[in-house]
Chain A
Amino acid sequence: MSIASDIGSKGRSDDRRQKLFAGINRASAWLGALGLGWLTPLLKIAAGDNPREQMGELRDSLVFPLMGIVIFGLAWAALAPQVQTSLGAIPGPVEVWEQAGALWQDHVDEREKEAAFYTRQDDRNAKLIAEGREDDVKFRGFTGKPTFIDQIFTSLKTVGLGFAIATVIAVPLGIASGLSRPFNGALNPLVQLFKPVSPLAWLPIVTMIVSAVYVDVNDAFPKALIISAVTVTLCSLWPTLINTALGVASIDKDLINVGKVLQLSTPTTIAKLVLPSAMPLIFTGLRLSLGVGWMVLIAAEMLAQNPGLGKFVWDEFQNGSSNSLARIIVAVLTIGVIGFMLDRVMFTLQTAFTFSSNR
Chain B
Amino acid sequence: MAPLGAHAEMLDVEKDELKFGFIKLTDMAPLAIAYELGYFEDEGLYVTLEPQANWKVLLDGVITGTLDGAHMLAGQPLAATIGYGTEAHIVTPFSMDLNGNAITVSNAVWELMKPNLEMGADGLPQHPISAAALLPVIDQFADEGRPFNMGMVFPVSTHNYELRYWLAAGGVNPGYYSPDDVSGQIGAKAYLSVTPPPQMPSTMEAGTIDGYAVGEPWNQAAVFKKIGVPVITDYELWKNNPEKVFGMTAEFVEENPNTTIAITKALIRAAKWLDENDNANRLEAVDILSRSEYVGADAEVIANSMTGTFEYEPGDIRDVPDFNVFYRYFATYPYYSDAIWYLTQMRRWGQIAEDKSDDWYADVAKSVYRPDIYLQAARMLVDEGMIAEGDIPWDTDGFRPSTDEFIDGIAYDGRTPNAYIDSLPIGLKTGETAASK
Residues of A near any B CB (own CB < 8 A): 86-87, 106, 120, 124, 138, 140-141, 143, 145, 211, 223, 305, 314-322, 324, 327
Interface membership of chain B positions 44-81, coded 1 if the CB is closer than 8 angstroms to chain A and 0 otherwise = 10111101110001000000101000000000000000
Which residues of chain B are within 8 angstroms of A143 by Cβ–Cβ distance?
Answer: 17, 35, 46-48
A318 touches B293 (CB 8 A): no
A86 touches B205 (CB 8 A): yes
B46 touches A318 (CB 8 A): no
Which residues of chain A are within 8 angstroms of B149 by Cβ–Cβ distance?
Answer: none
Whether B98 sits at the interface, judged by CB under 8 Å, is no
Which residues of chain A are within 8 angstroms of B221 by Cβ–Cβ distance?
Answer: 320
Nearest-CB residue, chain A, relative to B57: A305
Selected from B17, B57, B293, the residue in CB contact (under 8 A) with A140 is: B17
Selected from B4, B17, B24, B41, the residue in CB contact (under 8 A) with A319 is: B24
Which residues of chain A are within 8 angstroms of B296 by Cβ–Cβ distance?
Answer: 315-316, 318-321, 324
Rounded to whole Å, the gap between the CB of A115 and the closest CB of chain B is: 15
C-alpha spacing A154/B306, complex, angstroms = 35
C-alpha spacing A305/B198, complex, angstroms = 15
Question: Helix, strand, loop or mixed for chain B's interface?
Answer: loop
Most chain A CB within 10 A, of B35, B225, B298, is at B298
B227 touches A305 (CB 8 A): no
Which residues of chain A are within 8 angstroms of B6 by Cβ–Cβ distance?
Answer: 124
Which residues of chain B are within 8 angstroms of A145 by Cβ–Cβ distance?
Answer: 49, 293
C-alpha spacing A85/B149, complex, angstroms = 23
The 9 closest A-B pairs by CB, nearest first: A319-B296, A86-B225, A318-B198, A145-B293, A140-B46, A143-B48, A321-B298, A305-B53, A143-B46
Question: Helix, strand, loop or mixed for chain A's interface?
Answer: helix
Which residues of chain B are within 8 angstroms of A305 by Cβ–Cβ distance?
Answer: 52-53, 57
B225 touches A87 (CB 8 A): yes
Rounded to whole Å, the gap between the CB of A328 and the closest CB of chain B is: 12
C-alpha spacing A316/B198, complex, angstroms = 10
- B-side interface size class: 35 or more
Rounded to whole Å, the gap between the CB of B183 and the closest CB of chain A is: 22
C-alpha spacing A140/B47, complex, angstroms = 10
Residues of B near any A CB (own CB < 8 A): 4, 6, 16-17, 24, 35, 38, 41, 44, 46-49, 51-53, 57, 64, 66, 198-199, 201-202, 205, 221, 225-227, 290, 292-293, 295-298
Nearest-CB residue, chain A, relative to B52: A305
C-alpha spacing A321/B301, complex, angstroms = 9
Which residues of chain A are within 8 angstroms of B49 by Cβ–Cβ distance?
Answer: 145
Nearest-CB residue, chain A, relative to B204: A86
C-alpha spacing A320/B300, complex, angstroms = 13
Which residues of chain A are within 8 angstroms of B51 by Cβ–Cβ distance?
Answer: 315, 318
Which residues of chain B are within 8 angstroms of A138 by Cβ–Cβ distance?
Answer: 16, 44
* Beyond A305-B53, A320-B198, A320-B296, 10 extra complex contacts between A and B, CB < 8 Å: A86-B227, A120-B38, A124-B6, A143-B35, A145-B293, A315-B296, A318-B198, A320-B201, A320-B221, A321-B292
Which residues of chain A are within 8 angstroms of B66 by Cβ–Cβ distance?
Answer: 223
B201 touches A86 (CB 8 A): yes
Rounded to whole Å, the gap between the CB of A332 and the closest CB of chain B is: 17
